[in-house]
Amino acid sequence: MLIAYYNNITDYLTETLGTHFIFYIFLITTSVSVVYFVVLSYIITQMDSRYFVRIHASKDAQTNKTKRHHVINLAKTLFGIVLLLCGVLMLVLPGQGLLTILVGLSLIPFPGKDRFEQYLLARPSIRTSLNWIRVKAKKAPFIFD
């Protein structure tokens, strides 16, 4: 019954959109996945190895922010939101959902951020994946504690 349903869907899409359209969708999806993995790997390798060890800055250092700094923070936050949404989608679609959520959250300032990052980093699979990417790029592994 399920196979017949999938065959009906396949026949409908092939007749409606054509075989070339389905091939192009497959090609675009694969290309976007590869580009995404390269960008995510680049972001992970550019992070400081002590990024997840939180040292809170003094209030004086936080008050001397320029307009350029605010624009950079806004762009970083917007990019983090996009990564967070993509990560949530990748929990049900193919991709590195939890890693994407972690990188997106690291870019977004919000209350409870440190506690939530530590919750995600408590998973051995996340730590292993992050450090595997860094080792392949010949970077020092993350220090988590």
pLDDT digits (tens, 9 = 90+) for 78-107: 998 998 898 888 888 777 788 788 888 888
What is the sign of the dihedral through the CA atoms of 54, 42, 98 and 133? negative
**What is the rounded average pLDDT of the residues 63-77?**
82
Going by pLDDT thresholds of 50, 70 and 90, the confidence category of residue 112 is confident
What is the pLDDT at residue 64? 61
Decide: 44 and 130 in contact? Cβ < 8 Å: yes
More confident residue, 142 or 13: 142
pLDDT digits (tens, 9 = 90+) for 20-69: 877 887 888 888 888 888 888 898 899 888 887 765 444 445 556 688 88
Q: For every residue of 80-138, which 3-state class applies, written as one string?
A: HHHHHHHHHHHCCCCCCHHHHHHHHHHHCCCCCHHHHHHHHHCCHHHHHHHHHHHHHCC
